[in-house]
Chains A and B, each alone.
Chain A
Amino acid sequence: MSARKNGLDRRKAVAQILARRGNALVVTGLGAPTWDVAAAGDNDLNFYTWGGMGCAAMVGLGLALAQPKRRVIVITGDGEMLMAVGSLATIAVKQPRNLAIAVMDNGHYGETGMQATHTQFGVDLAGMAGAAGFRAAATVRTTAQLKTWIPRLYDNGPVFIDIKVTAENAPLVLPPRDGSLLKLRFRQALLGGA
């Protein structure tokens, strides 16, 4: 199957989501979603992952449970989310009001050479999140839909959106990568001290 031509621009979508982040806490899935969030502007309250494929949603849950007054936004890829579909069930059972997940679904494992993922063959991640018990879940295909769904990412959760984006690799924007550094600066910005 050839790379998807139609779809939203992932860099623009992420920038639009984060434009209204305020003091929200952001967790990224490894690879391109990490670069997308870095491209939108580095922030001490971004926890970029560079590994631990499948961790993003659950890091988001631990953070959301620890910080119930803060909004937590997880931005990840379809491949990363598929590795952790069970975590959709775990999250749905806890019903964190302050957690939102946005998947940049390009239908591919972009980072490793654009191999097809299951979403390209009809596997419906938003359907799975909805069936697990997320309060709101949708597939977003157009700019108009994205516009209506962005405010919901900041509203009563758990919320899940699967954004169909083009399968083009955007230029690399690399944030810091040392795990200790990323942890310490995040905790310092959020909690003061380390």
Chain B
Amino acid sequence: MAAKSTWSEQVHRVLRTQNVRQIGYVPDSGLKRIIELVRADKKMCAVSLTTEEEGIALATGAWLGGERSAVLMQSSGVGNCINMLGMAIECRIPLLMIVTMRGQWAEFNPWQMPMAQATAAVLGAMGVIVQNVEAPDDIAETVAAAGKLAFNTNRAVAVAIAQRAIGTKAFK
């Protein structure tokens, strides 16, 4: 019996099926596997960013040039994007953000708390549609739905993957 695929493998397949080619990212431990899969995929163009807002601008340029893009980040990175999101919203750029949450389930690091707890609110305030996902088995389906929403209706959509789904980072 083949081992059940992980959510990272499933999401990678979704991105591939939906022709998402440029993938910007700033790492999070929860994103480790999907970043490896994207980097290994010759049909994709992985772009390591110095700050998450670069990914919003990258996605804008990609769409102007006829390509789909997604941005992967930790919840703290959402704070780095706020003003740049204004461009994506004003231009009605389809934007797919995959955000792994910290500062939730059994968090150890208090410095993660303020931004994590504000993440959904600030995205919402900017006009980004937020789709939360709690169960690992629902992640790929949620990303697929978010991608359709983004690329079919020219909207900015963020999938917020709960810390509980990924596992709490252990400091040891």
Contact = CB atoms under 8 A, between A and B. Distances in A.
Contacts of B56: 52, 55
A67 B65 contact: yes
B50 A54 contact: no
Interface in B43-96: 45, 47-51, 53-54, 56-67, 69, 83-84, 86-87, 90-93
Interface residues of B, number: 31
Contact of A52 (B63, B83, B92): B83
A64 B45 CA distance: 12
B87 A58 contact: no
B22 interface: yes
Contact of A66 (B49, B65, B86, B87): B65
B22 A87 contact: no
Among B50, B59, B92, max chain A CB count under 10 A is at B50
B65 A179 contact: no
A170 interface: no
Contact of A54 (B22, B53, B92, B93): B53
A52 B87 contact: yes
A184 to B, nearest CB: 9
B66 A62 contact: no
Interface residues of A, number: 37
Interface in A147-163: none
Interface string A20-63: 00000101000000000000000000010101111111111111
Interface in B81-126: 83-84, 86-87, 90-93
A187 B50 contact: no
Contacts of A84: 54
A180 interface: yes
Contacts of A62: 22, 57-65, 67, 69
Interface string A81-120: 0001011011001100000000000000000000000000
Contacts of B86: 51-52
A6 to B, nearest CB: 33
A90 B65 contact: no
A3 interface: no
Nearest to A84: B54
Contacts of A57: 57
B84 A52 contact: yes
Given A52-B83, A52-B86, A55-B84, A66 B62 contact: yes
Interface of B: 21-22, 45, 47-51, 53-54, 56-67, 69, 83-84, 86-87, 90-93
Interface of A: 25, 27, 47, 49, 51-67, 70, 84, 86-87, 89-90, 93-94, 179-180, 182-183, 186-187, 190-191
